[in-house]
Structure formats: C-alpha cells, structure tokens
Structure 1
Amino acid sequence: MNVEFFSPLENSVVTNIMSCPAMVLGKLVQLHTEEGFPDLSGVKIAIMGIAESRGAEQYNSHEGLYYVRKELYQLFSGDWHVSIADLGNIDEGNTIQDTYFAVSKTVSFLIKQGIIPIIIGGTQDLTYANYRAYDELEQTVNLVAIDSRFDIGTSDEELMSRSFLSKIIMEEPNNLFNYSNIGYQTFFNSQEEIQLVDKLYFDAYRLGEVKDITLVEPILRDADIVSFDIGSVRQSDAPGNTNASPNGFYGEDACAIARYAGISDKVTSFGVYEYNGAIDVNNQTAKLIAQIIWYFIEGVNKRANDYPFVSKESYEKYTVILDDDDPLNFYKSDRSGRWWMEINLISNNKHKRHALIPCSYRDYEEALKLKIPKRWFKALQKLA
C-alpha cells in the first residue's frame, strides 16, 4: 500500500486522546501520527478519512474529519477482540480522479489483506471509488446504500454525489450483482428512477417500510459494500448535512443499521458520507457518526462466521413445496439463528456465491402460505 496517499492525524486529535481516561477507544487504536504509519500486521479494521468534496454541488467542510475522530476516540470500547488502526486522511488530489485512484487502490489492498476499511467522507461519490476497488477481486458485488435518494442521475452526467450510481451500473467492468437502497423517500426520487430500480430487479425499501428496523438485517447481511449517507437521518438528529430533511431515520436506527452491517460476514467495506462540520450544531452529527462507527465495530466483533464460511450441512434445512411441486429450500444457522433461501438456478461460477440469499423467518412463513418471497424472485431473475 502506498502510505504516501495519507497525511497523519492532526496533533490536536492525539492531544485530545491523551487527556481522556484509560480504555477509551483512542488509546486502543494504532494511529498514523507524525511519528509514523501504523503496522497493519494483525489489523482487522482500518479507519480512513477522505478530504474530498468536489463531487458535491456545495462544498463540504473537511474539518468534519477532526470532529468525528474527536468524538469517536473518547468513547469507551466494548468487549472487543479485533485490532484497529487509523491510517489518517487521504487529502484532495490534483484532480478528483486522483483522489478516486488513491481510495480505490487503498481499499483494494486492505480487502486483499483481510482488513475492513471504514471510510469517513467526504461526499458519497466516493462510493464509486470504493466499488472500483473490487475490480481486482474477480467477484460480483452487492452494494447497499442507506440513503433518502437513489443518486442515479443520467449516463451523460459527470460523476457527482447525486449521480454516482449510474456510473456504477453502466461502466465497464460491471461487477455489480445487486444494489439495495434502505430508507428512500418517494418525494426525493422521480417515478422514472423508481421504475428503473424495479426494472433492474434491484431492491428499494421506503423509509416507512423499515420502521421495524430488524427488517434491514437480511439486506445488509448480503452486502459487500455499505454506503451510509448521513442525510438519510432526520435533521433533528443530524443537522450537519447540506441536504438534511425533517424526515429520516432516528439516530438509534442509524446505529442499529451500522451494527447489522458489522455483524454481516460478507461486508468488507463501510463508509459514512456527506457530513459538513461547518453547519453542524454542537457537534451533534459528529457524535452520531462516531456512534455509528462504534456500532459497526461492535458488530464486526460479534460476527458469527456462519456464512459463507461453513457448508450447508451445518444448517437446519426446511423445504417448502409450492403449487408447481418445485421445492423452495430454507436454511437456518445453528450458530446465529439466521435464515437463508437457496437459489437452484446458477448461471455461471461468477454468481455461485449468490446461491444462498439471506432472508428472515417472515419469508419462510410467507412461503408456507405458498407466496414466493420477493427477494427470492428478484435474485432468480438476475441469475437466470
């Protein structure tokens, strides 16, 4: 990895940590300071700030990276066993493409080393650079965005925070298997965009559909990349966002979503974007982002490693016979109690990792009523 991409943490971050009590998170993390870069041997999670906002319609203050770390590192750690490093910040390159390149190469290196990057943005177009990091891994990718908007844009638009998804969908190499949106609000998205997402057999869940926050767990369990737009949280809980809205997730919902993402055995990168410290109130948004990251780390420490690390023989199998006599197989993990559905039609080896689709007990109950679960049908369409 090219450590020259990174600048060390500000001395004020280190000074603030030194004044905190023992056992706060900041004293357990290997920090990139002026004294040197962290040793990544044995590290499981790497935090990295990206001071890039040229992909936004309005400038976002990069001071937010300091505020988030200040709040994060004075939190006490949980009963954790994974090693964490803070790599410092990737500053703006000469062009925005230079920044994308640095992010992509860094994320790719970390994933190959079995290290999960936590990206503190910066604007959400950095999700594109995160996605491009998977080009070298020779696998299809599932992207989950927690966002009130789809950010599709049009194919002829420049790559921006409001149009990055169209670039991910259209550009080669195309390694996107599935895109899921959690928490979109209809009035922020055109009907054409909503219809396009459905036509591509992607998954989109309105804010009102996920009031029971446990329903998002199977969605996040199947993700490789999780992109969290802090603007999906209501303004009263997260005012430090240029596009903050009265409606959105509550702060505790955002933390629950982050924990579900961390628990997922498949999630290999996680990013929180669109924080603007210049318009935050009493560092409230910085505090929330710090807690979102804390809960993600908590989730990683609680991973059950029950998929895809074990064979189907380690699961309890339930078979439902539908009207056409085709069996629909469900598997329940004896480690975590989580459920999966099996897709029998596999088009090629590239898609083999999608043979088991995460689901909930509710999906099994629906199948018993001879109703095919929507996520099973959509996955089948993509594999056919």
Structure 2
Amino acid sequence: MNLSIFFEPLNEDVYAALNKPRTLGFYTSRFVSKFPDWRSADIALLGVNETRGCKEEAPAPAAASSAARAVRQRLYSLTKGAGRCRLVDLGNLRPGITLEDTYLRLREIVEVMISHNTIPIIIGGSQDLEYGQYLGYEHLERVVNMVTIDSSVDMTEDPEATPNKKQLRRILMHEPNYLFSLGQIGYQSYLVEPEVMATLEKLHFEAYRVGEVHHKVQEMEPVVRVADLLSFDISAIRHQDAPGYQPANPFGLTGEEACQLCWYAGLNDNLTSLGIYEYDPALDKRSLTAMTIATMIWYFVEGFYHRKNELDFSSKQFTKYAVTFNTDNPDRMIFYKSRNGEKWWLEVEPLSSEKASRIVPCSYEDYLQAIEGEVPNRWIMTQARIG
C-alpha cells in the first residue's frame, strides 16, 4: 500500500541543523522528497494535526504542522540510546475533508502498520483521534486492550460536547465491540462525573486517580503492560511541566512520571501503537511541553529496544507459582514470574467452562495479597470481563 499519498513531506530546512551524529535526528529517515521505507523500521512517527475535535473550524494551513514540528525539533536533538535505532518520520497526515474522514485515514494507517510490525507514534491533534487509532485494530478479529492516560474520562453524554470529550463513549458503543479491557490512569475526581466512574466500575475496567500514581508509579506498570494501544492526553501532566494545553491544570502527573509510563509502554511486548494528544504549541511559549513530549517519546523508544519478548509462559523464561486457597472459588491461583526481571503475570480462570483462561500482567503486590489468602482485585475484574 502506498501510504505516501496520505502525508505531507517535511521541510528539510527546518531539521537539517539537527542532523548531528549520535542524535535521534541523525538516525531517523524522514519524508522530505522520497517516502521512507517504513516496512523495515521498528517505529514510525507521524504528525496528525487535526483539531476539529476540540473546536469547530478546520486547522489553519499555515499552522497545520506546528505541533508536530515543535516536538520533532526537540526530539531530533536528543542523544540516541546505546542500542540500535530504526526510526522513520512519515511527515504529517493530510486531514480529511471532514473529521470522520481523518478518523478513517488514521484507521487505515494504523491497521497497515501494525500488520507489518511497525509501531506508529501519533503526535496529535485532539484526543478524539484515539477513536481512529482504536479502529485500526478491528481487522485483528480479536479482543484488544486499551489504556488511556488523562486527567478526565472522556465519556460524557452531553450532545453539545466536542468530540474530544466523548470519544471513549463512542469506542464503547462501537460495533462490533472488540474492546476487552480499558485502563484509565491519572484521572482527577473533581473533573469526572460520578456516573462516568460508575460506568467504568460496572464494566469492570481499571481506573487510577493521579494520587495513586504519585504514591507508587511502579504499580501502574502492569496496567500499561496489558495494553495493545496507549493514548496519552497531555492535560494529564501538571501545567508546570507541560503548559501547552488548556484549560491550565496545576495538578497532575509530573513530567518524570509521564516519562516513566512511556518507558513501561515501550517495554510492553504487546503494545503496537502510541498516541500523544492535545498539545497546543501556541500556549507553549518556551517549548517546555514540546521537550516533555520529546522526552516521553525518547523513553518509549528506549523501552522498545529493551523488550524481552516474554510471551511464552511454557518456556524456561518463567517460574510458576501456585497459591492455594481454603475457599472453593478460586481453590488456587497460578502466578508466573519472569526470570529476566521482576515482572509478574496472573492466570485467571473463567466462570464458564466454555471459555479459556487468560494470563494477564500483575504486580508482586498481587502475589503477596494472594499468599495472605486474599483474592486480588485484578483477578476479580478480569474474571468478570471473561465471563
């Protein structure tokens, strides 16, 4: 498939000075005159400067590439890590005539890339673009797991709300429904309607307040590790570390925590796309947000090149632990621990004998809870979703 018809090439004059040895810019093949060979790349960057999801008017042509451009200028100047690096930059996606057209273009691009084992990093645009990102998984014909990092939960039923405030509801209502799990990280209770949280609880989805992330960011690693796709709203980061969004929020994740979560995402063997949304460079006077996003992407790339390919639980890569309970449901619980690190997994038995068990990421805290005779909440929620 010729993806070049969807993209606008980059202006090399803007980035030529960033081609210094040992920088990411030096190792990134960019769409300037010739479209790069994305099939041989591990990761592909693409700017999607579509903002009709947060306002009525179409993006202004003169400013169409400013958000992704600002991030690229910071990202290309960062020093490459010690490992290999096969990155391409496809330029900026041409917005569709309508917002729906843009969703469909993004869907097609994500679908083609993950089919060829190339991970797209989408530099948005408003967060409703995650709907197009999600649609790119429909062809897999299997259930998928999604994690969204946001200060709010975009599931409002208000018909007057902009698309970037209700895309999660649209994802949940999409037919066919192939969403197995949704993890919401970093929400702030005073920004979320109680009915929305009740819906997440009813669907047995995981949701973590920003205070829980502050308390122990390591406990978010299993949440991120389950994801096939990750969506990151920059408004989840406190204004001091990322001022390039509105309305300003003095509370939220730190820039360091955002980078930690992106590192976890990069390490995730299952994750095949990343979207970073809601960055407005007009509000980013000193390019602090651009630098924060660039560093987040850097950590994702580094994490990717540290993947362990730990997916075969019958192999010698894992130690198996069986925890016995005094109750009948469950009578025992199976855990797996990687011998290459500190990662843990949990095998969850279905309620119905007609369905297969699932092995899901968990934490050491879940194992400690089980040996104390308590059933971890992650086991309960996963079993409820399996049915």
- Output the CA distance in 1 between the equivalents of 2:8 and 2:68: 12
In structure 2, relative to structure 1, the CA distance for the partners of 1:30 and 1:306 (3 Å cut) is: same
Match of 1:329 among 323, 331, 334: 334
Aligned residue for 2:37?
39
In structure 2, relative to structure 1, the CA distance for the partners of 1:129 and 1:348 (3 Å cut) is: farther
Matched, 1:278 2:271: no
The RMSD of aligned alpha carbons is 1.9
- Output the CA distance in 2 between the equivalents of 1:39 and 1:348: 47
- Output the CA distance in 2 between the equivalents of 1:320 and 1:162: 43
Matched, 1:345 2:350: yes
Aligned residue for 1:23?
22
**One-letter amino acid matched to 1:137:** L
User: Structure 2 unaligned runs (5+)?
Assistant: none
Aligned residue for 2:374?
371
Matched, 1:78 2:81: yes
- Output the CA distance in 1 between the equivalents of 2:284 and 2:368: 45
**One-letter amino acid matched to 1:300:** F
1:3 Cα deviation after fit = 1.6
User: Structure 1 unaligned runs (5+)?
Assistant: none
Matches of residues 276-315 of structure 1 in structure 2 within 5 Å?
276-307=280-311, 309-311=312-314, 314-315=317-318
Matches of residues 119-198 of structure 1 in structure 2 within 5 Å?
119-154=122-157, 160-198=163-201
In structure 2, relative to structure 1, the CA distance for the partners of 1:244 and 1:380 (3 Å cut) is: same
Instruction: Name the count of aligned residue pairs.
Output: 378
1:159 Cα deviation after fit = 7.0
Aligned residue for 1:49?
47
**One-letter amino acid matched to 1:341:** L
- Output the CA distance in 2 between the equivalents of 1:169 and 1:348: 26
* Structure 1 contact 306–336 (Cα < 8 Å) conserved: no
3-state SS in 2 of match to 1:362: helix
1:15 Cα deviation after fit = 2.4
* Structure 2 contact 55–162 (Cα < 8 Å) conserved: no
**One-letter amino acid matched to 1:223:** A
**One-letter amino acid matched to 1:37:** F
TM-score by length of 2: 0.93
Q: Which runs of 4+ in 1 moved over 3 A?
A: 57-62, 155-159, 346-349
Once the two structures are superposed, what CA deviation does each residue of 1:86-122 show, in whole Å capped at 9, x if it has no partner?
A: 1111022111111111111001000000111100000
1:348 Cα deviation after fit = 9.2
TM-score by length of 1: 0.94
1:165 Cα deviation after fit = 0.3
Matched, 1:201 2:201: no
* Structure 1 contact 306–335 (Cα < 8 Å) conserved: no
1:312 Cα deviation after fit = 5.5
- Output the CA distance in 2 between the equivalents of 1:274 and 1:347: 42
